[in-house]
Structure 1
Amino acid sequence: MRTAKIVAAAVLMTTVLYGCSRKSEAQAPPAPAVTVAVPLVRAVQDWDEFTGRFEATQSVEVRARVGGYISGVHFRDGDYVRRGQLLFTLDPRPAQAALASARAQLAQAQAQISLAQSELTRSETLLASQAVSQAEVDTRRANLMTARAAIASANANVRARQLDLEFTRVTAPISGRVSDRRVDAGNLVAGGSSAADVLTTVVSSAPIHFVFDGSEAVLLKYQRQARNGAAPIQVRLQDESDFTRSGTLDFTDNAVDTASGVIRLRALIPNADGFLKPGMFGQARLAGAGSYNAMLVPDASVATDQARRIVYVVARDGSVAPRPVQLGPLVDGLRVVRSGLAPTDRVIINGVQRIQQPGMKVKPTLAQIRPTPARASQAPVTQAAPASSATFANSLSSVD
């Protein structure tokens, strides 16, 4: 009797376990659906981005070369001036008087040389008849040489006084945009040295320099690439989303700053409309090596496995395998894959979050990878602060 009960209990337990096994097999989840695509192959140009400021190719502080009384200002603040254009005039009368005095001294020296020449001729005639000594003749010859030197000195003094008279007209040393006048007519100014009064400043406007700092690593990369010709560069302003201005890299400093580990670089940017001003902030991107064919996948398809970056590849049998990859820059939402993928690999581009472990089966759906250009509103730009106040447009006319 006891044996029969044991057998019955064993049969009942076996039936229960078999039922549970059938139920668990019936509830096994289906293979998750994912979207796969082969990498997109496109020609890509690498860029290195930098921040910097615009600087004038030429900048001059205008100073008078002689001191004097400002008698006239001949430009409007902010005008575009050309090289040699008259900016200021100083009272020319002191310079004219000094020039007249120098010319009088020249005439006096010319009279002295005529007298010295006559005395020397007379002495040489008398020496032939032994009426004068040789010493007297030598004295007359020395007097003539002194008179000639006085003529040269007087001529130099005349030229100096002519320059002083010319310097009473202060002209633009370069073509460019002039600043406001620092002194008005009626003021006395000092001149003739670097400590003289600054009358105004002139900066050239076209072209313009864009100056920025690059790391030593960037310098090494560009030196090893040994580019032929000037490297192209593109620049945008702080309120712009696109790099709309182009130029070329025209200068690299001769040494790396040992304190910061960077080197100064400079680009030349056309500025025919004069919109770019010295001191403005900008962002630049410098072209690396020439364009190359690269494989690209959506940036969202790249997963992280500790320190590695991986993408999931689906085999022919539907099994998933992770592939470590070496990544490059981002291009219109797509990430450049430098190594780790083959052009025929089917990469999971949608449904990566459904992958629980390597080797699991999935149900792939083939698709194509397409770039997704970022909209202008998505670009990080700096916008001007809103106006402090506002009025209705017709409020100005109602005041009359």
Structure 2
Amino acid sequence: MTVASPTSRRIVETREFAGRFEPSAAIEIRARANGHLQSIAFADGDLVQAGQLLFTIDPAPYRAGLDEARARLASAVAQIELADLELKRAEQLISTNAGSQAALDQRRQQQRAAAAARDLAEAAVERAQIELRFTEVRAPFAGRVSNRRLDVGGLVSDGAILTTLVATDPIYFVFDISEQDMLAYQAAAAGGDVPGLSGSAIPVEVQAQRGGDWLAGGVIDFLDNRVEAGAGTIRARARIGNAGGRFTPGQFGRLRLPFSGSYEALLVPETALLTDQNRRIVLAVSDDGTVRAASVELGPRQQDGLRIVRSGIAPEDRIVVGGLLRARPGQRVTARPAEPAQPRAAELGVRSGTGG
């Protein structure tokens, strides 16, 4: 019969949650001008930078409109210059009693009308400049574009969808936390082991649905304001760096959230655990070779096949890890030590799931 002492290891308890990656920003790129599409400055699916030119709508009619507005502004400026001169003459005549008050009032009214016409012409120039800028459609933020909806030469109408754009760095991971998990986390936060769910940047790790390495560096930056009554869950969101484009919006994944501070834990192989009615037990061998059953309180599973034991055994106990089918409490056995396993570097991490 093979026995081994519990493994002592400093760990952080974590729980895993399934969720979906979502873009940190997503918009439809729409035209804000009418005309024929003159050029497309990207390839479908490209990564683009903020401010990068995407589409050009034929600007010729808008340049002509701007030239016309500038000409009207020049005419309005000339009119106000003339009105200013005539007002000064009227003021000089009235000062020498050579002019009438009615003529002075008329010149003042003409000067105000000319000033208003100039302001209107300046506004028309500004509007024409804005409309000309709308012929160049640029990316409002960095991200990945979809395919183009129109080809060069196509007629574009104001409001037409040209493509879509999503921001992929950072990327969001959206997931749901059950009410029980939320209460357990709040209890750990009240004890000072972990930061609070609200108003704190809680570090997390994520991985793609297919598995693989856990990616560190993300933080939970949003927790919804209520638990959904029907599902008994609350929505949370983590912000994840995605400079290499490892994750794609819409992709499923998993998130690992710390539920404790770092502490020294005792662990036994999952295969050493037995069930006795409604309790979990391990078999231990005393110094005289007698097998005894020890009732244990379990914590989360670990990724290397071990299980946290919160109470019920001591570090010096000899736990039966081989030959369990032949062992019975109260019988005497000959115990031999198990061969020590060499844990891989990845197994020294802190991944764990829910207890059971």
Alignment map for 1:200-215 (pairs within 5 Å): 200-215=163-178
Alpha-carbon distance in structure 2 between the residues aligned to 1:373 and 1:236? 22
Shift of residue 130, structure 1, vs aligned partner: 3.1
Shift of residue 288, structure 1, vs aligned partner: 2.7
Alpha-carbon distance in structure 2 between the residues aligned to 1:249 and 1:130? 82
Residues 189, 319 of structure 1: alpha-carbon distance in 2 compared, 3 angstrom cutoff? same
Cα deviation per residue 1:297-341 (whole Å; 9 max; x = unaligned)?
Answer: 122221112111112233334333322211012221221101122
Q: For residue 137 of structure 1, what is the aligned residue in structure 2?
A: 104
2:142 paired with 1:175: yes
Shift of residue 164, structure 1, vs aligned partner: 0.9
Q: For residue 87 of structure 1, what is the aligned residue in structure 2?
A: 54
**Which shifted more, 343-352 or 173-182?**
343-352
1:72 to 31, 34, 39: 39
2:260 paired with 1:292: no
Q: For residue 306 of structure 2, what is the aligned residue in structure 1?
A: 334
SS at match of 1:120: helix
CA contact (8 A) 2:38 2:56 kept: yes
2:281 to 294, 310, 318: 310
Shift of residue 361, structure 1, vs aligned partner: 2.5
The residue type equivalent to 1:52 in the other structure is: G
Q: For residue 14 of structure 1, what is the aligned residue in structure 2?
A: none
The residue type equivalent to 1:367 in the other structure is: P
What's the C-alpha RMSD, in Å, of the aligned pairs? Answer: 2.5
CA contact (8 A) 1:39 1:297 kept: yes
Alpha-carbon distance in structure 2 between the residues aligned to 1:312 and 1:70? 78
| Structure 1: gaps spanning 5 or more residues | 1-33, 377-400
Q: For residue 199 of structure 1, what is the aligned residue in structure 2?
A: 162
CA contact (8 A) 1:249 1:265 kept: no
The residue type equivalent to 1:72 in the other structure is: S
Alpha-carbon distance in structure 2 between the residues aligned to 1:333 and 1:85? 51
CA contact (8 A) 1:333 1:372 kept: no
Aligned residues: 335
Alignment map for 1:96-111 (pairs within 5 Å): 96-111=63-78
Q: Percent identity?
A: 46
Q: For residue 159 of structure 1, what is the aligned residue in structure 2?
A: 126
| Structure 2: gaps spanning 5 or more residues | 347-356
2:182 paired with 1:219: yes
Q: For residue 58 of structure 1, what is the aligned residue in structure 2?
A: 25
Alpha-carbon distance in structure 1 between the residues aligned to 2:266 and 2:36? 72
Cα deviation per residue 1:335-362 (whole Å; 9 max; x = unaligned)?
Answer: 1101122222232223333344x4x232
Q: For residue 322 of structure 2, what is the aligned residue in structure 1?
A: 350
Alpha-carbon distance in structure 1 between the residues aligned to 2:6 and 2:296? 13
Shift of residue 183, structure 1, vs aligned partner: 0.6
CA contact (8 A) 1:51 1:283 kept: yes
SS at match of 1:141: helix
Cα deviation per residue 1:251-291 (whole Å; 9 max; x = unaligned)?
Answer: 12231342322222222333333232211111222233232
Alpha-carbon distance in structure 1 between the residues aligned to 2:284 and 2:270? 15
Q: For residue 255 of structure 1, what is the aligned residue in structure 2?
A: 225
Cα deviation per residue 1:11-64 (whole Å; 9 max; x = unaligned)?
Answer: xxxxxxxxxxxxxxxxxxxxxxx3333222112222211111222223232112
Residues 58, 321 of structure 1: alpha-carbon distance in 2 compared, 3 angstrom cutoff? same
CA contact (8 A) 1:330 1:336 kept: yes
CA contact (8 A) 1:216 1:256 kept: no
Q: For residue 152 of structure 2, what is the aligned residue in structure 1?
A: 185
The residue type equivalent to 1:200 in the other structure is: T
Alpha-carbon distance in structure 1 between the residues aligned to 2:99 and 2:289? 130
CA contact (8 A) 1:333 1:371 kept: no
2:6 paired with 1:39: yes
Alpha-carbon distance in structure 1 between the residues aligned to 2:19 and 2:293? 41
CA contact (8 A) 1:41 1:296 kept: yes
Name whichever structure is richer in strand by fraction.
Answer: 2
The residue type equivalent to 1:104 in the other structure is: A
SS at match of 1:150: helix
TM value normalised by structure 1: 0.76
Alpha-carbon distance in structure 2 between the residues aligned to 1:150 and 1:371? 90
The residue type equivalent to 1:243 in the other structure is: D
SS at match of 1:267: strand
The residue type equivalent to 1:61 in the other structure is: E
CA contact (8 A) 1:36 1:364 kept: no
Q: For residue 213 of structure 2, what is the aligned residue in structure 1?
A: 243
SS at match of 1:206: strand
Shift of residue 369, structure 1, vs aligned partner: 7.5
The residue type equivalent to 1:347 in the other structure is: I
CA contact (8 A) 1:334 1:371 kept: no
Alignment map for 1:21-40 (pairs within 5 Å): 34-40=1-7
The residue type equivalent to 1:339 in the other structure is: S
